[in-house]
Amino acid sequence: MKKIPFLYSLFLVSFLIVSDKTKAQTSNQKFTEETVTEEPSLGLVAGYTGSGYNILEVGIGYQPWQVEGLFVEYPFAGFLALYEFDPSRKLYGTSLNAWYLSGLIAFGLNVNRYSDYKNETYGIKPMIGISSYRVGLMWGYNFFLNGNDIENLSNQSITIKYYHPLWKRKSDDISSKYSYR
């Protein structure tokens, strides 16, 4: 239970950062004239998932489209391939994620596999939360497809991930543009 105050504090600080950034942008730019654009990119992802367990995540991310946003800098819409592990016990996994980070709302879908060398489970986890500066803070619920015999692997989790682009591609093709307004 000691993790709950920490996670609540982290969520609160993240929400304040996002709302402060949104407020600053709305007062300094007109919604119809100025947008923030992120080019297609390939990069690294690092994250943490917890709720009864502590899982560290590392992997690659790919944003195939140009993304425009009105509310935040550095929006992200793309895919993540992650290796996940708990450093305090023999638990590891892999996951494929589709993520959309827009600031006021962020959501994703995760297909995952976890193992503790004795048991193995597969799941699908929808997620929802907030984001800013390519950082997503989300709550998710893992629907285990074949049951779950792994000790302390909960259905519910809080996830925080950061995407850092290493390579960006200029996109002049209008068909590769993804925009929300």
Kindly report, residue by residue over 37-54, the tens digit of the pLDDT: 788 899 999 999 987 778
Residue 32: in which H helix or E strand, if any? Answer: none
pLDDT at res. 115? 94
pLDDT at 26 over 60: no
pLDDT band at 22 (very low <50, low <70, confident <90, very high): very low
Helix, coil or strand: residue 119: coil
* Of the candidates 97, 96, 86, the residue with the CA atom closest to the CA atom of residue 136: 97
pLDDT at res. 20? 44
Contact 14, 130 (CB under 8 A): yes
Domain chopping of the chain, boundaries: 3-28+38-168
pLDDT at res. 150? 86
Which residues make Cβ contacts (< 8 Å) with residue 23, sequence separation at least 6? none
Helix, coil or strand: residue 64: coil
Give the pLDDT confidence of 86-123 residue by residue, as tens digits. 988 889 999 999 998 876 788 999 999 999 999 999 99
How does DSSP classify residue 102?
-
Task: Tell me the residue length of the chain.
Answer: 181
pLDDT at res. 124? 97
Domain 3-28+38-168 has CATH 2.40.50: no
pLDDT at res. 76? 82
Quote the CA–CA distance of 123 and 48 in Å, as a whole number: 18
Quote the CA–CA distance of 127 and 107 in Å, as a whole number: 5
Of 11-20, 133-142, 147-156, highest mean pLDDT: 133-142
Give the pLDDT confidence of 71-80 residue by residue, as tens digits. 666 778 899 9
pTM for the whole structure? 0.72
